[in-house]
Structure 1
Amino acid sequence: MPTSQEHAAHDDAAAEEQIISDVAKYGFHVVVVPSDGYSPGFAYTVGLFKTYGYPELICFSLNQDLMHSMFWTAKELFDQQPQPDLALGYPDFIGDFDVRFLRVAKANYGDYFGYGRWFYKGWDFPALQIVWPDKQALFPWEEGFTASWKFGQPLLDRNHDFKFREEHGLNVYTTRQVLEGQPVLHVVHDDEGNWQFLSNAQYDDNDLRMVALIEIVAQDPTVNELFQLNYGWQAQREAIGGKWQKEAFEDEEDGAE
């Protein structure tokens, strides 16, 4: 099972060998990525499209064995119905509850199908998300869905322009300089879950501002690249479009104690 960091790099030679072996033996392999404490854990298939012509599958936040079982159930469903109806619920996946399928948008492939890209040498494969309901049989897009479960199951057919696992109106810290147009080059996600979006300009307390997260994303959509930045981490880059360098964040006040 790769860690979230190994999955992001998707260059684990042992994992690649296991994928090739499992696809040859079973028809597909299941990659399991555990939660890092902030982003939800998930699992996805590699090989369904190559072996059977079926879409690859992904599912979030359930027990590893259950997700593996659900992928086999989906494969058996596809044997009978290669093109599932995305408007219908399907039983027999998770107890007495139906599940639904969503078509994964290509804009979301890069965040979740790392070994899929390696296996297919690109993104030329279809993918579906298996979405599960809450205990009231409500799905995440339905009114009344359990609020505390909302961000445990990102919906990969949408939200391409706002990937963060918080509400649009979440208050975040920034500076006057950023709001006046300076680029966001330093992002902090502290241990308490607070976000800071800063430029490289010097600032003091009088420059601090609090705005809605959606305002920062609208001003600079490239900060979406950090939507999985874990608690207690920070990221810096030299310019917009540059590679983010991530490291653990230590609050200066904490370090001084």
Structure 2
Amino acid sequence: MICGGVRRGRDTETIATVEKHGWCSLLVPGTVDFAYTVGLWHSFQIPEIVMFGLAGEHMQLWLNTCVERLRDIGWPAAEAPFTGVIEGHETMLRPVDESWRAALFGTAYRFYGGWSVPVWQLVWPDGAGRWPWNDEATVSSRTRQAFGWLPVSAHPAGSWRLVGTFGNDFPLPAEPDSWALTTRSLLAGRTSPAVVAFDDGRFDVLDARGYAADDLCLAYLGHAVEQHPSLNALSDLPTGHVATLATDGTWQRTPSSDPQRTESTAAWRTSQPLRVTS
């Protein structure tokens, strides 16, 4: 059997559910949640299914409904709409490119002992029935779903491409698609990081102007790391601390001060998100 050599431990509950029901629907919480099945290939020789961008527990239920529906009607052709999963809406399945496997499907990878099994994406339309590749579809339906049928390198710029690019190798103790306070100049490479604060799960990545910069914005943390690999050195920055770049190029770490926290809070309240589109 494919999963005969799977060790229990961290995946004990998943394995037990597959043994009892034939598959398990896993929720992966993050900046944007996704959920996927484990066990379909093992139990029924059909691809695993992943779904992105809706309420986590609902996605788990819809995945289960999808499996039951497909066992009734058979596996559809790619991009063939079908009903019976989300009430009042069609859905469709598209095969997921192999380049997403390492970033998204760690539990499945362990379950199958490193074997590469097929995964298809359950795609949902917006409220008007428009699919996410339609330019007229709502922004949320186009950005909350990964375009998993594309290679990571060909995915539109944004949060999911960052997740696919970094996978489990993101150097900082946050998600690559989490918001960070930074500056437009720093993201464009015109300035360099000089002050980095980490507190309450969020990062401030600032240049020498600090909170006085006139181009403060909110952006995906992964974009700052892509532009400035020097940030990799801050993988061990403790929460509640600030790192300041010294003249010798090293980062000096000190506890956050009350004035710094006050400035940070004010800047987060007034800064606007920057949407990267290329």
TM-score norm. by structure 1 comes to 0.63
Query: Which stretch has the larger CA shift, 69-78 or 86-95?
Result: 69-78
- The runs of at least 4 consecutive aligned structure 1 residues that moved more than 4 Å come to 174-178, 184-191, 193-198, 207-211, 219-223, 243-253
In structure 1, give the amino acid aligned to 2:118. P
In structure 2, give the amino acid aligned to 1:142. N
Q: 2:189 aligned with 1:179, yes or no?
A: yes
Percent of matched pairs sharing the same residue: 20
Unaligned runs of 5+ residues in structure 2 are 1-6, 163-180, 242-255, 264-278
1:100 aligns to what? 92
2:97–2:151 CA contact under 8 A, matched in 1:
no
- Equivalences for 1:129-168 in 2 at 5 Å? 129-158=121-150, 160-161=152-153, 164-165=158-159
> How much does 1:72 deviate?
3.7
In structure 1, give the amino acid aligned to 2:66. T
SS in 2 for 1:156: coil
> How much does 1:102 deviate?
1.9
SS in 2 for 1:59: strand
* Cα pair distance change 1:143/1:204, threshold 3 Å: closer
Q: 2:72 aligned with 1:51, yes or no?
A: no
* 1:71 aligns with one of 64, 75, 79: 64
RMSD after superposition: 4.7
SS in 2 for 1:93: coil
* 1:25 aligns with one of 1, 20, 27: 20
In structure 2, give the amino acid aligned to 1:77. L
Unaligned runs of 5+ residues in structure 1 are 1-10, 224-234
1:172–1:210 CA contact under 8 A, matched in 2:
yes
2:55 aligns to what? 62
* 1:6-35 deviation digits (Å, cap 9, x = unpaired): xxxxx993x511111111111111111234
1:175–1:208 CA contact under 8 A, matched in 2:
no
TM-score norm. by structure 2 comes to 0.59
SS in 2 for 1:21: helix
Distance 1:97 1:163 in 2: 27
In structure 1, give the amino acid aligned to 2:260. D
1:186–1:236 CA contact under 8 A, matched in 2:
no
> How much does 1:75 deviate?
4.6
2:232 aligns to what? 237
* Cα pair distance change 1:181/1:106, threshold 3 Å: farther
2:4 aligns to what? none
2:74 aligns to what? 81
